[in-house]
Each structure stands twice: as C-alpha cells, then as structure tokens.
Structure 1
Amino acid sequence: MSSRRFVDAAVLAVAVAEGVLTTIAEGTPYGIVTTAIAVLALLVRERWPLAVLLATMPAVLFPGTIVPAIVALYVVSSRWRDPWLLAGCGFLATAGFVFPMSEFAPSIWDFHTLLGVIYAAMTAIAPILLGQFLLSRRELALRLEEVKEAREHERRLDAEAILARERNQLAREMHDVVSHQVSLIAVQATALMVSTQDPDAKQAAGNVRQLSVNTLDELRHMVNLLRASGTPATELTPQPTLTDLERLIGNSAIDARLVGAAPEGLEPPVQRAIYRTIQEALTNVRKHAPGASATIEISHDDTDLTVTVTNTRPTRPNLALPSAQHGLVGLQERATLLGGKLHTGPMPDGGFQLRLRLPLTAVGTAHV
C-alpha cells in the first residue's frame, strides 16, 4: 500500500511540474486552469478512467500538458481489452498531441508535421501497450492461482480415491477371507451341536457358534465403516450421494446449472458414479476453460440413465498445462464397472462435453 501511495504521489508531482513549466513556457497564466483540472482529475482516475481521459484533453490542447493524458490513457488500457475503445482513445490522444503543432505547418504533408504525427502516435501507443501488458500480467497471475487451487483440489481428490481403493481392498480381503473362515467355524460348531450327545460338548459348540455369529456381525460392521469412509479428514464420513449435488455445484466457483433429475431409488454405487462424474467435469472446466459456464443435464428413459456436462468456450486466457488425465481414466473405469460408457469430446462452438450413460434394469435401479 505504501508503494502504491508513493507511485500516486510521484505521478501527481510529475504532472504538476510539467503543467507549471509548460504554463511558464507559454507565457500565459490561463493555461493553469486546464492544467489544474487535468491534475485534479487524476485523483479519481481509478474510478472513472474514461471521464478522466476526457478531462485531461483540454490541458493537452492548451497549454500543451500531456502527462495527465498519458496517465489516464494508461489507466483506460489497463482496465479494458476492447480494441475499438482503445483505438478510439488512442486516436483522440494522438489528435490532441498533434493539434498544438498544426498551427506551425501550412499543410498536412509538411515534413515536420508528419514527424509530429508519428511522435504523437507513438506517445499515445506507449501507455496503451503498457496498460495491456499489465492487464495480461494480472490475468495470468489470477489464472495461475486458479490452476494452483485446481491442482490442490485434484491432489485431494486423488488422495481420497487412493484411500478409498485401499479401504475397499481391505474391506474385500476382510470379507472374503476372514468372513469365510469364521463362517466355516460357525458351520462346524453347528454340526457338532447336532451330532454330539455330550452336554458339555454341545454347550461348548453352541458357545463357539454364538461367538462366530457375533464375530461375523462385528466384521460386517467394520467392512461397512471402511467402505463408507470417504476422506482422510474423518474416518466415518459417508460417500456422497445425489442429495449433495446442489452443494457441489454451488461450491464449484463456476456458473453452472442443473437440468433434470435422476430417478428415485438409485443404488449407492450409481449415485457415487454420477456425483464423481459431475465433480470431475466441473474440476476440468475450472482448470481448462476459465470463465466458461456449464450445464449439467440428467435424463433417463426405460433403459438408460444419461448424465451430460457441457461447458462453453473459455472467456479468459488458458495455460497449456500437461495433464495425465487420471480423472477421466478413473471415470471410465467406474462407468465400465457399472456396465456403462463414458464419452468425451470438444463441441463445435469451442466448448467441451462429457457424457456418462448407465444401463437401467428398471426405473431407478441400475446394474452394479
């Protein structure tokens, strides 16, 4: 903030000094009025840059003070990218710079007048180019920050996916191996209860059978907890469902809207597949199509459920960053496990579309 104030003070000091020196050189005190208006207008140049540029033009014509106009032209250029607006402002400034020299030249073809026009045009173009350069730099810094946030978000998603796979694998191992062995113990204990006549052996076999049943219940409970844990932040957080879509879209920092709805009674794996597909699509929009809007459409008929995410072309500069496309590969694998298909591709208008199609055996129930 202190450096900004120093720059503002330096700009005003240079403008005042130029105005005073120009007025003295012209030998008339009336030019101090237009110069004072131009210098004072610079105080509000960030709020009304176009109005300030117009306010500085009288000082350019009389007595010939150009620093305020150059500063105002730079502020206008650093605010907008409209080429017609910048060309108009540049032409206005060039005409103002040339006008004081026209009285010394009888014809536009005069050699000195042509040189003056060239110098005036270069003087007007310089602040425009500087303003556009700084505007591009600000946009690039903003884009890099968005890319950093998107990569951090993707890293968290990858960590969650890895953790979910490990826990699912552990759950499968516990279910397939431990559950199988404990079930055999329970079966053997039941057989012993039926075949033995010894009361003590019958009671011991009953205890073994009851302990096996209790162990199986505890094991199923632990497997469910492992499969339900979705994030490293909390051990018992359930996986997302379609009821979380509105919050996902609202927190995506993208102009996105949801059209349609899924049928009732979808199984949890199907709901997770839809949620993760939309989540990955919105992440890709934020990474690769800055400033674009997105439409999320969910539709279904008697045989298929379709989720389509379509985004418009980006409105801000896009950085060509390398991507391994692990997210799309994961979505493809998820769709294949559910018997569906995933299609991705560019649109004719410069946008991009991702479409997930899952088969339905009945309304609201998918193959898993």
Structure 2
Amino acid sequence: MREPLRERLFGLGLWLLLCLPVLLKSDPDDGGSWTGVAVGVALLGGCVAVSRRWPLVPVAVVVAVSLASAPELFTPSYSLALIAFGYLAGRRQEQTRAALWLFGTVAAAGLLLTVATHSSLGQWFALLLTLALAVVAPWLVGRYVRQYDRLVRSGWELADRMEREQAAVADRERLRERSRIAGDMHDSLGHDLALIAIRAGALEVDPGLGPAQQHAAGELRRAAADATARLRDIIGVLREDDAGAPTTPSGETVEELVSRARASGLSVSLAPAPVPTLPGMSGLALHRVVQEGLTNAAKHAPGAAVSVAVTGDGPNVRVRVASGPGSTAPAGLASGGTGLVGLDERVRLAGGSLAHRGAGDGGFVLEAVLPRNPPAPLPAAPTSARELDRARREVRRGLARAIWIPLALLGALGLLMAGVAVWTQAQSYLEPEDYAGLRIGRSLKEITDDAEDWPARPLDGPPRRTPAEPPGMDECRYYRSTMLAAIPVYRLCFVDGHLADKAKVP
C-alpha cells in the first residue's frame, strides 16, 4: 500500500502545482473567466488521473486547450502543464512511435490553423518553437531519465543475479566434488577389489590348500564381491549424470599400474616400454583407460591374457587394451555399467575419443586416442558484463538523443524560417521599373493589371523607424525595393482605392 499512497500524493501535488498558473492567469482580472478556470482545473485533474496509464493523453489535451487559447501554443496558464506532461510522457511511455505521431499531428494542425485564419507563417514558427522547447525537449529528458533508471535497475538485478549464480556455482562445486569422490572410489577401489577377488578365486581352487583354507578363500572372494556391489550402490548415490570428469588422485604411472596387476596374478603384457607421458587431462585419461581395461579383464575374463599397447601417432597417442577369452567369471561379481560411461566422458573432456568392441576370438578390445596437448577449456562468456554494457550504451544513446534532437529541430526550424523569409521577400518585391511607371490617381486594379509581375502580397507592416504616413490616407502598402535588404521600401498610399501618394522611404 505504500507505493499507491506515494503515487496518489505525487498526483495530488502535481495537480495543485499545475492549477496554480490557471488560477493566476485565467481569472477575470487577466481577461479570463471563472468558468474557464473551473474547466481548466477539472481538465488538469483528469489529465493527472490518466497520466500514468495513458501518458500521451494529457499532452494531447493540454496542447488542444493551449491552441484554443493561443495559436502560438504558448499560454501562461498551461505552459507549465505542457512541460510537466511532456516529461512524464517520456518518463512513462515505453514506445516512441505514438509520441512522434502526436508531435507531427500538432505541427500539421498548427499549419492548418494558420492557413485557415489567414495568419502569417511567423505564428506557425512560434508554435513549432514552443512545441520543441516546451514539449519535445522535456519528453526527451524524460526518456533519458527512464534509460538511466533502467541502467541502475539493471545493475542491481545483475548484482543480485551474480550473488545467486555464485551460490549456484558453490553448489555445483560441491556436487562435482561428490562426483570426483565417486569416480575415485570406482577407479581405485573397484580395481583393487577386482584383483582381490581374482586372488581369492585362485586360492579357492588351489589343490595345495586344505579345505579350511579353501573355504576361507571363498569367503574372502564373496566378501570382495559384496564390497564391489556396495561400492556400486554408493557410486549410484554420489555420481551425477552431468558431472565433470573426475580426477585420479593416484600419481602412479602406467608401468606401475601394470606391474601391480601382474603381481596380483593377472597375465599382462605392456609394449612399448617406457610408455609415452602425457600432460594434464590426457595423462590422467591414459591411466584411466588402462586401469578400466585391466579391471574389466579381471572381472569378466579371469585367467585371460591381457595386452596393453601405447603408441605415438603424431600429435596423438593411441592406447589399446585387449583381453582374450577367459574362464567364466566368479559368481557374485557385479558390474555397475558406469565405468565405460565415465571413461568416455573423461576421454572426451581431454580432447580424445574412446571405442570398445568385442574381438573375434571372444575377447574384448578397449581403444582410445588422446592428444599430446589437450585443448584449453573455453572461457565463460561474460553475460553480465555484456548486459551491463548494453544498458550503458542505451543510456548514452538516450542522452545523445536528448541533446541532438532538440538541436536538430531548432536547426530545421531555422532553415524553414529562413526559406520562408526568402519566399516572403520574393512575394513582396516590387520591380523598380514597375514603381517608376506608377501614376497618381490610378486605381489599384488598373495598376496590377498593367504591371507584368506585380507582387503577390505587400509587407505585413512598415519597417521600424519608418517616417509617418501622409495624413488623410485610407491605406498604405509597403513593398521591398531590393531582394536582400529590409530597407529602403516602396510606400504606396491610397484614397478611395486610387493611388494618392508614392514614396521610397528609408
């Protein structure tokens, strides 16, 4: 309720302020009437009431009332209302096309009114000047203030958005860390548990052990299988589908990884030695490809021979892990189905590609191509900075329009006035030969009929400091004697429609 109350108080104050010139300048003491005062106060109240919903309606109403009072549009009673409603229209109106149409209509209506009342074009020029300074200029200032408020509001919105994005980034980092933990558990613990199960399975069928030792080895194998299943469940909770590739905390090399698998009883061959080293994400992805290949071979093809080959191929390194057909996997070993999916994501983020397929002899082949120099991550697009810069550009354009549009209107008005002045001079120019041929006593009709190019119209009045007219004359007309100078002029005075005096006056 606070904002509507503030708006009502503002509207009441604006109405009282705009009514003050009407009360002072439209009362009977200034040539007006109390009826005119009442009508003006009521119209201003209605304009203030609708100015927020229809900002251009008050401008149109006040312009119409001003034109009815003064064709030049400038009235002491409503000039303040023109300025105030012009500013509010620019401040509150979103689109500019309707305002431009209104300004053009006012200019055209002023021209039609000038022609209809047979007034001089100077009256229309005064209307255009009043329109530019009292309506258009405040409207442009209101537009600029609107753009500036939008910039400030955009700044606060961007600040609030950045805070929310920062909180969201923190949440994503926590989720990504959980995903890294899940990947580490799958990569390291899953691999180790698979090797433990292989060793326990070998001990379980070893004829050199007694029944008690074989039974204990079987329990160890089943415990490893159960731990692998529980690990899969934990990974299902922690791993996220859209999480980034986890990193490998272990700093062991591919040779150390193969040696550890060989010591666990897995038949592994590595060629060539030493293995090419790769930096950054490519090196981590290489280690993971070999680790996943050995883990899958130990789980799904126990007893099969595994070959690991890492070869250089120009800017890339190709790694291939192939396992032959083995005996049936021990019962209880579970497969989560996420190892190859996570591995493919890690290889992709490193800039490489992963492929896996079954071999013709019943084995399995895992291949990956990794770049020696992984691509740099793309920088985040500065969305907030772009939006703020766009808002600043809009404010600068609004300020520029608030400056150059009134200047352009004044320049165009000056050119128009200069053109009309030249045209008026041409219409009021009397040729020296025609002036010399004038005879006293002739009627105006005879004079205009005999002249080849008589001026279309005389001057509006005598120039300043012109000598007094001869006494007893009914009418005196003034014509220009030169095209470019205002003086001297020709003066023709008539009595009963006949030429009674002619003179060239300075």
TM-score, normalisation: structure 1: 0.53
1:205 has 2:200 as partner: no
Taking the aligned partners of 2:66 and 2:108, their CA distance within structure 1 comes to 10
Q: Name the CA distance, whole Å, in 2 between partners of 1:208 and 1:160.
A: 40
**CA distance in structure 1 between the aligned counterparts of 2:198 and 2:98, rounded to whole angstroms:** 85
1:184 maps to 195
Partner of 2:150: 139
Correspondence for 1:194 among 188, 202, 205: 205
Q: 1:28 maps to what in 2?
A: 33
| SS at structure 2 position matched to 1:46 | coil
Q: CA deviation at 1:82?
A: 4.7
Task: Return the offset for 1:115.
Answer: 7.3
Provide the C-alpha distance between the structure 2 equivalents of 1:84 and 1:176, rounded to a whole number of angstroms. 65
Work out whether residues 77 and 131 of structure 1, in 8 Å CA contact, stay in contact via their aligned partners in 2.
Answer: yes
| CA deviation string 1:104-138 (max 9, x = no partner) | xx85459xx97786455322234202320232134
Given that 1:53 and 1:72 are in contact with CA atoms closer than 8 Å, whether structure 2 keeps it comes out as yes
CA distance in 1, matches of 2:108, 2:24: 22
Distance 2:381 2:129 in 1: 47
**Which of 52, 60, 65 is the equivalent residue of 2:58?**
52
Aligned residue for 1:179, secondary structure, equals helix
Change (3 A) 1:117 1:175: closer
- Is the counterpart of residue 223 in structure 1 residue 229 in structure 2? no
**Could you say what secondary structure the match of 1:144 adopts?**
helix
Deviation at 1:219? Answer: 1.1
The amino acid that maps onto 2:43 is A
Specify whether residues 35 and 96 from structure 1 end up closer, same or farther in structure 2 by C-alpha distance, changes over 3 A only.
Answer: farther
- Seen in structure 2, the aligned counterparts of structure 1 residues 194 and 133 have a Cα distance that, compared at 3 Å, is same
Q: How does 1:41-80 map to 2 (within 5 A)?
A: 41=46, 42-61=48-67, 64=75, 65-66=77-78, 67-80=80-93
The letter of the residue matching 2:182 is: A
CA drift of 1:19 comes to 1.2
Between the two proteins, the alignment pairs up a number of residues equal to 246
Deviation larger for 202-211 or 114-123: 114-123
Moved more, 157-166 or 120-129: 157-166
Match of 1:13 among 10, 16, 23: 16
- Rounded to whole Å, the distance in 2 between the matches of 1:152 and 1:77 is 33
Change beyond 3 A, Cα 1:130–1:172: same
Q: 1:95 to 1:214 in 2, by over 3 A?
A: same
Report the alpha carbon displacement of residue 44 of structure 1 after superposing the two structures with TM. Answer: 1.6
Residue 123 to residue 96, structure 1, CA distance change in 2 (3 Å): farther
| Partner AA of 2:143 in structure 1 | Q
Q: Structure 1 CA distance, aligned partners of 2:230 and 2:169?
A: 30
Structure 1 residues not aligned, in runs of 5+ = 100-105, 232-266, 274-282, 291-315, 321-368
Residue 140 of structure 1, CA deviation: 2.3
CA RMSD of aligned residues (A): 4.5
Taking a change above 3 Å as real, the CA distance of residues 31 and 202 of structure 1, as seen in their structure-2 partners, is same
Task: Give the CA deviation at 1:158.
Answer: 3.5
- Is 1:38 aligned to residue 43 of structure 2? yes
Q: Is the Cα contact below 8 Å between 1:60 and 1:97 reproduced in 2?
A: no
* Per-residue deviation, 1:13: 0.6
Stretch moving more, 205-214 or 222-231: 222-231
Q: How many angstroms apart in 2 are the aligned matches of 1:288 and 1:80?
A: 27
- On the 8 A contact 2:82/2:134 being kept in 1, the answer is no
Which residue of 124, 127, 139 corresponds with 1:128?
A: 139
1:140-159 map, 5 Å: 140-148=151-159, 150-152=161-163, 154-156=165-167, 158-159=169-170
Which is greater in Rg? 2
Aligned to 2:7: 4
Code of the residue aligned with 1:55 in structure 2: it is: V
- Contact kept, 8 Å, 1:160 with 1:230, in 2: the verdict is no
Counterparts in 2 of 1:91 and 1:109: CA distance versus 1, 3 Å: same
Aligned ranges for residues 266-281 of structure 1 at < 5 Å? Answer: none
Contact 2:179 2:240 in 1 (8 A): no
Deviation by residue 1:272-328 (Cα, 9 ceiling, x = unmatched): x9xxxxxxxxx97985887xxxxxxxxxxxxxxxxxxxxxxxxx95458xxxxxxxx
Cα separation, 2, equivalents of 1:160 and 1:230: 14
Classify 1:288/1:80 alpha carbon distance in 2 versus 1 (closer, same or farther; 3 Å): farther
Judging changes above 3 Å, is the alpha-carbon distance between structure 1 residues 97 and 143 closer, same or farther for their aligned structure 2 residues? farther
User: How far apart are 1:208 and its partner, in Å?
Assistant: 1.5
Within 5 Å, give how 1:345-360 maps onto structure 2. Answer: none
Distance 1:212 1:205 in 2: 11
Amino acid of the structure 2 residue aligned with 1:78: R
Distance 1:118 1:46 in 2: 27
Q: How does 1:307-322 map to 2 (within 5 A)?
A: 317-318=390-391
1:335 corresponding residue in structure 2? none
Structure 1, 79-88 or 166-175: larger mean CA deviation: 79-88
Q: CA deviation at 1:159?
A: 3.4
C-alpha distance in 2 between matches for 1:209 and 1:191: 9
| Range with bigger deviation, 33-42 or 204-213 | 33-42
What letter matches 2:18 in structure 1? A
**In structure 2, distance between residues paired with 1:114 and 1:199:** 118
Task: Say whether the 8 Å CA contact 1:98–1:120 is kept in structure 2.
Answer: no
- The CA deviation at 1:21 is 0.8
Identity %: 20
Task: Work out whether residues 201 and 217 of structure 2, in 8 Å CA contact, stay in contact via their aligned partners in 1.
Answer: yes
Distance across 1 between alignment mates of 2:109 and 2:156: 41
Query: Deviations for 1:66-99, whole angstroms, at most 9, x for unmatched residues?
Result: 2333333223222335555334444667899999
In the TM superposition, residue 143 of structure 1 has moved relative to its aligned partner by: 3.1
